[in-house]
Structure 1
Amino acid sequence: MKLPSDSDYQAALQHPRQAFADPELRAGVPEVMGSGALAGLPRPRAGNFATVYKLRCGERDFAVRCFTRPIQQDQAVRYAEVIRHLSMNWMSSSVEVAFLSRGIQVQGHWFPIVKMEWVQGESLAAHVDKHHASPKALFDLAAAWLQLLEDLRRARVAHGDLQHGNVVVTPEGLRLVDYDGMFVPALAGRTSHERGHANYQHPDRTPDFFDERMDSFSAWVVWASLVALAHEPSLWKRFHGGDDCLLFRKKDFVERERSALFKALLASPHAPVRAVASFMLGTLLPSSPRSVPPLDGAAIAGLEVPRVMPALPPEAKAPPSQTAASELARFMVPELSAPAARGAVPLEDRQVANGILLAGGLSAVLSVAMSPMWLMGLGVTGGLGWAWARSAYQRTRGLERLQTVDAALATTRKDLEEAEARLQQLREDRARVEQEARSQCAELLSALEAMSSLRGVFVQKARDAYQAKLAGFTEQRKALSEQESHARQSLEGEQQAWEAELQRRLANLTSADRAHAEALRMLQEEHVADVLRREPIDKARVRGVGLTSQAIDLLRSNGVLTAAGIVAGSTSNIQKLPTHHQSLLLEWRAGLEQWARESMPTQLPEAQQIALEKNWLEFRARTERELEALQAERARRTEALAARFAALREALSAEESEVAELLWRKEPDVSGFMEQESLRLTRELKARTMDLDAAGLKVEAARRACASLHWRREELEREQSALGTLRFSRYLTLLLKDNPE
């Protein structure tokens, strides 16, 4: 099936009432370009497999995906299963979507489209570009990212192409678009029609990897990018973040030993960045795509990151939260640029402290040497020293900040505990609302599932009607291949026989010298034969002995007139010829032949040599031309044979395409009504689950509040750790130290 071009789609979209079968889209108004030569035409947004147009339909906006590359035969069935599963498994990140086989009419023919709720927000890449220098904003995004992954796992869904262009950041949370490669449990056992964006996928991913684990590697890639940028925002410009990626590219995964990005991450002064890079290089990339662990709080908790700040004193520690946000904060809150002031002790304070210590020591000595009453002096001195030390400690610079941090941290921990309890309660409430919605919408869900099954049955029947015809084309192609093979073999045999004959002729014309020798040999033989023909039989004489007249007459009567007629055995058949006459004749002929050979020419006449050279060259040239002509004829006939069978195959393909086109055109008619009915049921289900949407928004708001408190707690704990040297025990040590810091 040949799909329309972008200009064809644009022309059709200018008239929505004629272009669409869907009632909402028929009433829609496409977004148009405002300037340039194409001003006033529908605004296209090009993608890998489709061009997207935005339509305003009343108070709602929809994205219409018009396919620019052929889709798979089962794409409608896959979308039906995805829509059914998403309707029964609520996710805040999903959007309303419908696959319409009878989607858009272009030049009198219907083509499929995907109708999807328009999501107002910014892409993941644009959001990171705007906030790459804000660790807090990146932390909030990472927390939302983990929540998105948790929702996908809970619904047993894998998007299949998690990347910056398919994730939209909205005030309500992250939303997912483009469900062409989505996996739901009903599609188990099938293969993937796409491999996802190469800059976010494991390099070893194959089409047969199609299950709930598909998104694991992509999830880690996005999270690792956010962690790195939270500590080193300069990486964004240094490695051209936002250029079809966040940070990582396919070549970083394939050529990881030479990757400049991985080298920079491993050399980072920040422990979390090094830990993430090491985990990707040491665990994720060497693993098979199926073995990549899911990204969640437990997985992050398993990554070791050395603390660069001093540990909190035992009395300041609090039980850490086990939530994913807590683990995120551990990785993404930057270290303090410099530790707080350590509270140097003034010299006069150290002198007073040493004096008190000396007085106490003197009291102890006197109590031993003179009277136990001096122990009272030791007690008074110790009490006064303690009171003075506490007073001096209260005056230490930075203590006020430490006390503020302690108070803020205590408040934050309490608020976080309450917020997490509220979040848990809201999640339980949402689960209860979801369960109630399932019960209340059981009839609708059953109708939706039945409609999906019924559509599959009707579509299959439509396909079965053409299946026999389509199956016959394979046999016809096989028969054509056999006929072509036989014709080629026959042509090859005929042509090869002629070529062999001409090659044989050329092989006999190896050189002009050989032709000269052959002509000279023939001239010499002719000279010998001529000498023998000129000697009559009556002159036969050997050593003075000749033939009798009777013998001569007998020979003449048998046709032997000259020496040329005498050969071995020729005279033995002549009756009445004496034997000694036969011997005489043979000896006479041999003598003549020997004389003739001694006198025969040793070279050809010059004129004959020239003529012979010319004839040889002409014969060779003629033979070579015949061979070239034969080879050209062979190529021509072979090409004509191939063209004839190509035309037959083309005609067969055209017939097959016509049958397939009938099926393609018929299927939208069969499934169009059912798709609209499924869409109506989905809408009704959506209307009945408004409470679930509201509960989801409350959960998202509570999750964000918890994430913010986690960030705040981690910041305060790190500052408290840096200020920990100002505690009273540390101050006493500094007072009595000989070499203060």
Structure 2
Amino acid sequence: MGAPIGPHRQFPSGAAYAEALQHTRLCFRHPELRAAKPELTNLGLPRAISGAFASVFSLTSVVSGQRYAVKCFTRYIPDQAVRYQAISAQLGGLDPRGLSQPWKLGFEYIPDAIRVGSDLFPVLKMDWVEAVTLSTWLDDHHGDSQAVDRLATRFVELATDLTTHGIAHGDLQHGNLLVAADGTFRLVDYDGMYVPALAGHGGTERGHRNYQSPARDNDAFGADLDRFSTWVIFLALKAVAADPALWNRLHEPSGEFLLLTEEDFKSPSTSSGLLTLLSHPDHTVSGLADHVRSLSYQPLDALPALAPAVPAQAGAASAAGSTVRSTSARSAATGALPGWMSDHLTTSAAAVPPAGITGSAAFRGRRPADVITAVLLSLALAACVLLTLAHALLPLGSGLVPVAFAGLMSLFARRRRPELKASRTALADLRSRLRQLDDPEKAAEKLRKERAGFDTSEANRKVGLPRERQKLTDRSNQERKSVEETKAKTLREIDRKIMGLDGDLQTALAKALSAQQAAFIRDYMSHRLIAQSKPHGIGVTLTERLAAAGIRTAADFTGYRVIQNSPYNSTGAQLVLRGGRRVNVHGIGEAKAKALDMWRLAVRDSAVKAQPTRLSAAEQRSIRHDFTLRRAALADQRKVAERVAENEHAQVRQRLEAGQARLAREDAAANTRAQQKRQEFSRRAVLLQQNGSRYEALRGSLDEAQRLGHGLTYGRYLRFLYTGR
């Protein structure tokens, strides 16, 4: 078996796989792949189609003659085997008769399939299909509008199949959409596919950047993964069908996109490609382009599926939508301006400030107060002239009093005009609306900082998660090591005792024999009486004296000790009793003590010759039985030690699995919260864009209202009093 697949396992490179595939008889164990013939390059090496996660090789089986696409993985994919089992079960359960076209390919996930170096690695064996990628097909057929339009319909049917069964491919793009000779699609690369059985798992990839929503991240995983990319591809097909020249105009040779790229989705307002499609005279093209532009701001879960959302009359729907947007924009732009002022505002979209406004402010419809003011002002001027001529009779400056009075009257009358009231009301209303909206730049900067902080926090969390997992693994490894060390120490001690049993048995047998022989000798010697044996030089008198001292048999003493008699300058002897006590026996000198001891030694030699030389069978069985019991007890101790270690290992595994499950739950919960937070950011970005358009529209309306209000000057009012204009 190969090494377990894990996040720390190093997978071979595409070049390493290509080298191994030069000897398929050695590197493969699968019967159909063993000795299979790979497609070769001009240099005679296996041809590889390399991607981000794997290299794909074409091999022809020598057993069946069938051609296969064999995917060799170059990077770790979480839960790879589990994912492919779920995908295989889902796709295998689809009835081909219920599908719009034979888009699904047969595949088999084979663990430990290919040997590279000393390790085994999994592969994915897929049916080979004779087809070309979508971009290659468009290179050859973009001039055939009807064929492209039919392919667009086929693509909608494919998207409908996936949506109906709750499946998302995860990386819909030109390289994974193959077009067969009959004009139907084949779908390849199922690494990131979502099926209902994988609900709750995380994503493994983000998909091709030129086909994905800016709101999608690596953790996104669900049935809605394909919604943005299906609209992008459908827009490209319908646009090329409507105007084949768009292919050469917007597509680059060998470009990793169809008509639009990642930058077009991130910055639609500055996208030249999107602007080309938005301004296209075909309403289907411009309508779909506008729809894709709006989708680029929305969270994934808010995107509509392709099939149900494709309008029957795309052009009419687009035109109707444009009318509604224009009306809404006009309403937002004009706000609560009075009718006389609204006539001067443009009907531009809400997102475009009403720049280009024409017209001028004017007073309309003189009232009695205006006529009276005009008459009083004229009379005041006449009075001023007359009083000036008569200045000699009146105080200086008295002629200005009527004029000042009339001027105050005209100012009051002007202030009461409905045009000024409407201007003030409109300005107050627009300023109030602007105060209710956040400044777009400040709000955008705040959102950007929040998102940057969130991204940093998520990045730190994702970096910290492997560290936490590694801590769990390290702690578990340390615990297992400690358990093994304790077990090994215990077993070594037990084994040492078991190995020593044989020696201990021989020692016990020898000790038992030695004890039996010593008892025999003591018994033999205790039955040899001095009185009966008559040792040399020992008569009846000495025998009686010896008996009085406690020495009757050869077993009662163990020898003698020579002593020096100082008063007589001679030597004597003391006999040593069995307990070690020394006694003096009258008449026993050194010579007689020596003779008596020689007799004792002679008796002992006779006893040694007569002693038993082996234990009886019963005695041996008794001793051996004891050692058999001791051996069995040690064997039981060994089993107990192994069971204890096994139980401790199980507890370590349980703690590790519990810790991993806890981290997985925490990660899943954090991913859910992160997804919700990203969706919140996306919604806020959409709202911010909408509020920004409203803000700019209101700002433009306010500027226009101020311009018109500033046009209602006192001089214009005076002209209005006398001319009516």
TM score, norm. by length of structure 1: 0.41
Q: Larger relative CO (CA 8 A, sep 6+): 1 or 2? A: 1
TM score, norm. by length of structure 2: 0.41
More helix by share: 1
Structure with larger Rg: 2
